[in-house]
Amino acid sequence: MTEVQQRYTPTRAADTATPSADRPRPARRRSRRRLGLGGLVTLLPLLLVFGYFGWWPIGQSVVLSVQQTNLVDPPAWVGVDNFRYLFTDPLLWTTLRNTAWFVVLALLFGFPVPVVLALFGSELQRLGGVFRVLVYLPVLVPPVVALLLWKWFYDPDFGLFNQVLGVAGLDPRPWLQSTATAMPSLVLATTWAHAGSTVLIYLAALAGVPSELYEAAEIDGASIWRRLWHVTMPHLRGVLLIMLLLQIIGTFQIFTEPFILTDGGPEDSTVTVLLLIYRYAFLNGDYGTAAALSVLLAVVLATLSAVYLRLTRKWSTT
Amino acid sequence: MSTEPARSVLSAADRRRPTVRWTLRVAQAGLLLAVAIAGAGPILWVAKGAISPTLELLQEPLRLWPTEPEWENLLLAWRELRVGRYLLNTVVLVGGSWFVQLLVATTGAFALSVLRPRYGRLVYAAVLATLFIPGTTSLVALYLTILDLPITGGSIANTPWAVWLPAGAQAFNVLIMKQFFDALPRELYEAAMVDGAGTWRLFWLIVMPMSGPIVAVVSLLAVMGAWKEFLWPMVAISDTEQQPLAVALPRLAESAEQNQVIAGMLIATIPPLVIFFVFQRHIVRGIGFTGLKG
């Protein structure tokens, strides 16, 4: 549809990356006219809302990160002191280790689950619709509700999971109460909550694999596994990488899970970056250090987002 | 959605082979059962928990149905825990966030795509730039902003505005809305303008009537997203009387009767489920459309 539009609307060229040189100029000039009063009014909500709550806070984060403020006295400029303090805080390094550990665990457990589910789900013929709804249900549960429920299930004495283990003749586990199992338990809950939407995206990607490729492979005598490996997987590569990146971007922003399930414990083993920002700002009242960490986080996330954008452009077929 | 491919990895011939057929059947039955338990199980458990005595939930969490269903529990949660009040707060916050997001996205995208002002591309680039910096990284600065607004001064903390207005700064909404408007035939606007239609008539009578699908997608994204919000409402609204259900529940869970808290959890889950089943087609299309995680 957009191709048709582009052909018939010369002004569309002004918006694309490569304006064609042979287009007549007048159309472009006309499209860049001044806004009338009505025009200004239509742009006003966007300018005000983004100005106050989008652009201003982003700039303000940078300013705050080199200031010391307690909301009462006028803020004092402190240069890089906030960053210096941040880097000497052992909790920062614990947090970064935790984040890396979360990424590794999510890669090992959280990442393959939706892939396997989607591969199986796409082979379901009549029950495909039921499968989609069932797999998407956890996504619909408000995160706070889901996490309170998981906390209940993880309870070492009365929890559902230890009861199930008991029925299976296994020893109960401490789940959230031990430094060894707290983070894996968190990853399990997160995977449950998010797998559904990822599965739907993979299913859409799987549906996009041309059937001729499967037929050709089959005629050439490729087994089911070889077809899966040599036809399906290459087609999913792009979307897999994108989801991986989105998962990493998401991991850096995890807050509600540790906040509700563990509050960062035991022994700070589940403190995440955002939880640390929250603690600095709203428990310690140290807005400067919180802003400094926010700025660092923003730099990391902007870099990852830029990579993500490049990838999605490259694999625009997904 | 009908993403059912003409065929998948397995062909009709494969499916006729006994080994393949039986392996597939067993694996799929197992998988469907697992997905049913993992997907629907917890929600059903909450439904059961909401009408079970707390003691029974603690002693026999695996029990399928309470010995004596306590239906009055839902009423108790509604009245004693004041879940009704918090739910109303949630509805107010979600409704306002939805309205602001739609207002900003439609008017903004209309100005940028249809009117194309002189600095339009600069504004659009500035909007898109915020896509690279997730809102969570401006949490602290945003909090200080709502405490003391720039230029105008004054605080909107502890009011619904603190949730409504920042919700509008969603670059993604503007992006998909503008892309949709860009794809509409420009001749229509030009013809309307030649006929003397002003900016508002162009917006209300030409562009909006054609934008049903995209308004539906943005609305669903906005409502489902706002219903899930936790961190920002918690920070922005400290007055417990005004907190949404999602923020109130963890606090209530610390002290209140547990089965009533579970009843509250059930009440918080029902609206998104209902919205999903009513608008299922749009939502699934929205996911395919945006490629974003819910």
Tell whether B109 and B222 lie within a shared domain: yes
Q: Evaluate whether residue A143 is within a structural domain.
A: yes
Tell whether B97 and B237 lie within a shared domain: yes
State the angle between helix axes of A112-123 and A128-140 in degrees (0 to 180), rounded to the nearest 10: 150
State the nearest Cα–Cα gap between B27 and chain A, in angstroms. 8
Among chain B residues, the shortest Cα distance to A9 is held by B186
Could you tell me if B213 lies within 8 Å of chain A, comparing CB atoms?
no
Tell whether A3 and A147 lie within a shared domain: no
pLDDT of res. A188: 92
Which CATH number does the domain housing residue B215 bear? 1.10.3720.10
Tell whether B64 and B89 lie within a shared domain: no
Angle at B194 (CA atoms; ends B191, B200), nearest 5 degrees:
85
Alpha-carbon gap, residue A28 to A227, rounded angstroms: 50
Tell whether A89 and A149 lie within a shared domain: yes
Tell whether A281 and A188 lie within a shared domain: yes
Q: Which two tokens stand for residue B172?
A: 């993604």
Write out residues 108-167 of B within 8 Å (CB-CB) of A: 108, 110-112, 115-118, 120, 123, 126-127, 130-134, 136-145, 147, 149-150, 165-166
Q: Evaluate whether residue B4 is within a structural domain.
A: no
pLDDT of res. B284: 61
**Partner-chain contact A197 B287, CB within 8 Å:** yes
Which domain does A245 fall in, by range?
83-314
Contact A297, A273 (CB under 8 A): yes
Separation of CA A127 from chain center: 29
pTM of the model: 0.86
Contact A274, A187 (CB under 8 A): no
Q: Evaluate whether residue B6 is within a structural domain.
A: no
Q: Evaluate whether residue A180 is within a structural domain.
A: yes
Residues of chain B positioned with their CB less than 8 A from the CB of A137 = 39-40, 43, 273
Interface test with B, best of A152, A229, A276 (most B CBs within 10 A): A152
**Partner-chain contact A298 B235, CB within 8 Å:** no
**Partner-chain contact A141 B269, CB within 8 Å:** yes
Q: Evaluate whether residue A5 is within a structural domain.
A: yes
Task: List, for residues B29-81, the tens digit of each pLDDT value.
Answer: 888 899 999 999 999 999 998 888 888 888 887 888 888 888 888 888 898 88
**Helix then strand then coil, % of chain B, to nearest 5:** 75, 0, 25
Write down which residue in B76, B93, B115 finishes a domain: B76
Q: Evaluate whether residue A43 is within a structural domain.
A: no
Q: Evaluate whether residue B7 is within a structural domain.
A: no
pLDDT of res. B286: 57
Residues of chain B positioned with their CB less than 8 A from the CB of A134 = 32, 35-36, 39-40
Write down which residue in B50, B76, B102 finishes a domain: B76
State the nearest Cα–Cα gap between B214 and chain A, in angstroms. 15
Tell whether B121 and B209 lie within a shared domain: yes
Could you tell me if B203 lies within 8 Å of chain A, comparing CB atoms?
yes
pLDDT of res. A16: 40
For CA atoms A215, A221, A224, A229, the dihedral sign is negative
Alpha-carbon gap, residue A239 to A216, rounded angstroms: 23
Q: Evaluate whether residue B227 is within a structural domain.
A: yes
Q: Which two tokens stand for residue A269?
A: 């083993």
Tell whether B103 and B247 lie within a shared domain: yes
Tell whether B55 and B159 lie within a shared domain: no
Q: Evaluate whether residue A60 is within a structural domain.
A: no
Residues of chain B positioned with their CB less than 8 A from the CB of A290 = 140
Q: Evaluate whether residue B1 is within a structural domain.
A: no
Contact B246, B230 (CB under 8 A): yes
Alpha-carbon gap, residue A179 to B286, rounded angstroms: 39
- Residues of chain B scoring pLDDT < 50: 1-5, 289-294
Q: Evaluate whether residue A149 is within a structural domain.
A: yes
* B120, B140, B246 member nearest A281 (Cβ): B140
Write down which residue in B76, B92, B126 finishes a domain: B76
Tell whether B170 and B232 lie within a shared domain: yes
Could you tell me if B21 lies within 8 Å of chain A, comparing CB atoms?
no
Interface test with A, best of B62, B138, B189 (most A CBs within 10 A): B138
Interface test with B, best of A4, A5, A35, A53 (most B CBs within 10 A): A53
Interface test with A, best of B7, B8, B10 (most A CBs within 10 A): B8
**Partner-chain contact B108 A198, CB within 8 Å:** no
Among chain B residues, the shortest Cα distance to A3 is held by B183
Tell whether A94 and A15 lie within a shared domain: no
Among chain B residues, the shortest Cα distance to A197 is held by B293
How many structural domains comprise chain B?
A: 2
Tell whether A131 and A269 lie within a shared domain: yes
Tell whether B127 and B186 lie within a shared domain: yes
Which domain does B18 fall in, by range?
12-76
Q: Evaluate whether residue B259 is within a structural domain.
A: yes
Could you tell me if B281 lies within 8 Å of chain A, comparing CB atoms?
no
Q: What is the ipTM of this complex?
A: 0.88
Q: Evaluate whether residue B211 is within a structural domain.
A: yes
pLDDT of res. A35: 57
pLDDT of res. B267: 93
Alpha-carbon gap, residue B292 to B294, rounded angstroms: 6
The pLDDT tens digits along chain A (318 residues) read 333 333 333 333 334 434 444 444 444 444 445 556 777 888 999 999 999 999 999 999 999 999 888 777 788 888 888 999 999 999 999 999 999 999 899 888 888 899 989 988 888 777 878 888 899 999 999 999 999 999 989 988 888 888 888 888 888 888 898 888 999 999 999 999 988 889 988 988 888 888 888 888 888 888 888 888 888 888 888 888 888 888 888 888 999 999 999 998 788 999 999 999 999 999 998 999 999 999 999 999 999 988 888 887 776 544
Which CATH number does the domain housing residue A221 bear? 1.10.3720.10
Tell whether B57 and B95 lie within a shared domain: no
Among chain B residues, the shortest Cα distance to A29 is held by B118
Tell whether B218 and B273 lie within a shared domain: yes
Tell whether B50 and B124 lie within a shared domain: no
Among chain B residues, the shortest Cα distance to A242 is held by B291
How many structural domains comprise chain A?
A: 2
Tell whether A126 and A19 lie within a shared domain: no
The secondary structure of A171-206 as a DSSP string is PP--GGGSHHHHHHHHHHHHHHHHHHHHHHHHHHHH
Tell whether B68 and B146 lie within a shared domain: no
Q: Evaluate whether residue A116 is within a structural domain.
A: yes
